[in-house]
Amino acid sequence: MGKEQITEEQKKVARYAKAMGHPIRMYVLELLSKQSCCYSGDLSEELPIVKSTLSQHLKELKSAGLIQGEIETPRVKYCINKENWAEAQQLFKQFLKI
Amino acid sequence: MGKEQITEEQKKVARYAKAMGHPIRMYVLELLSKQSCCYSGDLSEELPIVKSTLSQHLKELKSAGLIQGEIETPRVKYCINKENWAEAQQLFKQFLKI
DNA sequence: ATTTTTGTTCGTGTTTTTACGAACAACTAG
DNA sequence: CTAGTTGTTCGTAAAAACACGAACAAAAAT
């Protein structure tokens, strides 16, 4: 077994891909990438999961850097993290050669 | 909590993304998408994992439909699954709007 | 000062993922 | 027939992902 050949870029794409690797999270990302923002409650109404589970998925997307949350008491407004979203677009574009 | 709003396309992209969601698998996919084919042994030499673990990752990629293996005794030649790779390209392109 | 609203966090349990080494399978070479 | 080569599968273990309900937190409304 040789030395590590895996690049930082590959790690980054893998990290983003992992965050995208669940239907619920894909749904959220697709929605946010279209309209840029929404409230957690709106998602909760549409999706077949309890709010605590949704909260976990949003946390996962946040920790991957793909979204960000802003408190607007008593609600939380979630938006695409534009900077990282752009990076993800770029990385996937390169990777997929599209 | 409302009805299931998640589309089949979102499930498909999530499935592909999940398969891409590990650095080792990203490495393999990127290599195969460039040169179309390679032997398992070549990968094993380059990557910092034991062969059984590599075999598991290849199995995962295969079950996601992104690669396919062909026995060339005593070796196994792995290639991109062109049809599904094209579908993945298409789906990500749509999803990322790139 | 309560109650209500909106989400997060915590505790729990189940399932899946990841990784390793040993054992096995299939075919070739000596 | 016995080595050797190349990968897969099996057995195992540890970590992470996923989902739920209960409890909690923060601010607004009554």
Taking the CA of residue B71 and the C1' sugar atom of nucleotide C28, their distance in angstroms comes to 15
Q: Is the pLDDT of residue A2 over 60?
A: no
| Residues of A whose CB is below 8 A from B24 | 6
pLDDT, tens digit, for every residue of A28-51?
999 999 987 999 999 999 999 999
Taking the CA of residue A69 and the C1' sugar atom of nucleotide C3, their distance in angstroms comes to 27
Bridge partners of residue B69, in order along the sequence: B78
Sorting pLDDT into bands at 50, 70 and 90, what band is B73?
confident
Among A3-17, B56-70, B75-89, the least confident range: A3-17
Residue type at B19? A
Match 């609600």 to its residue by tokens: A75
User: What pLDDT is recorded for position A36?
Assistant: 78
Taking the CA of residue A52 and the C1' sugar atom of nucleotide D23, their distance in angstroms comes to 12
Asked if the Cβ of residue B41 lies within 7 A of any atom of strand C, the reply is: no
| Residues of B whose CB is below 8 A from A44 | 1
CA distance, residue A71 to nearest chain B CA (Å): 22
Residue B83, number of CB atoms within 10 A of its CB: 10
Whole-number average pLDDT of chain A? 94
Residue A37, number of CB atoms within 10 A of its CB: 13
Contact in structure between B16 and A23 (CB atoms under 8 Å) = no
Contact in structure between A2 and B45 (CB atoms under 8 Å) = yes
CA-CA distances (angstroms) from residue A50 to A28, A56, A87? 15, 10, 31
Percent of chain A with pLDDT over 90: 91
Chain B residues near any Cβ of chain A (below 8 Å): 1-6, 10-11, 13-15, 17-27, 29-30, 33, 44-50, 88-89, 92-93, 95-98
Bridge partners of residue A83, in order along the sequence: none
> How would you classify the pairing of strands B67-72 and A75-80?
unpaired
